[in-house]
Amino acid sequence: MKALYITLLIGLPMLFFGQAEVQEITWEDLRVESFEATGDEPSEFDSHIPKFTEEQSALDGKEVILSGNYHVLNNFGSKSYLLSRDEIIKTPMQGDEVVRLIMEEDPEIYFGRTAKIKGVLHIDENIDAETIYYITDVKKVKNTGTVVEE
């Protein structure tokens, strides 16, 4: 019986206070200031590798909350989900201004609307990827800050 009380005494506070705070980030946090060319001689066809700050590198693999404009691109039956800084995506992929959302199903966010999402942010290692960042385990967040559960 004493062990049960000790477990409850330790376990209940951990249940309420032991959960890590999810960091809410902005598009400024994701802005890449400089790039490094991959070739020896500069060419317009070179890939450019982003040079991340320590803060940006520390976000890789962390659960974050980000607000942006939600887009669904339907290419020959394959859907791509995106969150962008701007209301309209001006160029095919704007690097640090567009984030790919990797998810199993559409989280019922209306296309073209501003949305706040929670998920795990990743830096894409592939220099030819459409975007620099992508987010997995995507959940929609209400304006109150609570996650919309399925």
Please give the pLDDT value at position 24. 95
Note whether residue 13 is domain-resident.
Answer: no
Give the largest Cα separation in the chain, rounded: 74
Note whether residue 57 is domain-resident.
Answer: yes
Note whether residue 5 is domain-resident.
Answer: no
Note whether residue 150 is domain-resident.
Answer: no
CA distances from 106 to 10, 80, 138 (A): 39, 10, 10
Specify burial of residue 56 (Cβ count, 10 A radius: 0-12, 13-18, 19+): buried
Which is more confident, 32 or 9?
32
| CA–CA–CA angle 130, 132, 135 (5° rounding) | 95
CA 32 centroid distance within chain: 15
At 62, is the pLDDT very low, low, confident or very high (cuts 50, 70, 90)?
Answer: very high
**Which structural domain, as residue segments, surrounds residue 28?**
21-33+46-140
Q: Can you list the positions of beta strands (E) in 2-92?
A: 23-24, 34-37, 48-51, 63-75, 78-84
Whether residue 150 is predicted with pLDDT greater than 60 in this model: the reply is no
Please give the pLDDT value at position 14. 47
Note whether residue 16 is domain-resident.
Answer: no
Q: Alpha-carbon distance 84 to 89, whole Å? A: 7
| Interval 71-94: pLDDT, tens | 887 777 777 888 988 887 766 556
Note whether residue 145 is domain-resident.
Answer: no
Note whether residue 82 is domain-resident.
Answer: yes
Domain total for the chain? 1
Q: Alpha-carbon distance 35 to 42, whole Å? A: 12
Q: What percent of the chain has pLDDT over 70?
A: 67
Q: Alpha-carbon distance 5 to 137, whole Å? A: 36
Say which DSSP state 77 is in.
Answer: T
Note whether residue 148 is domain-resident.
Answer: no
Spell out the residues 6+ positions from residue 38 whose beta carbon is closer than 8 angstroms to its own: 46, 47, 48, 49, 127
Q: In CATH, what number is assigned to the domain containing residue 113?
A: 2.40.50.870
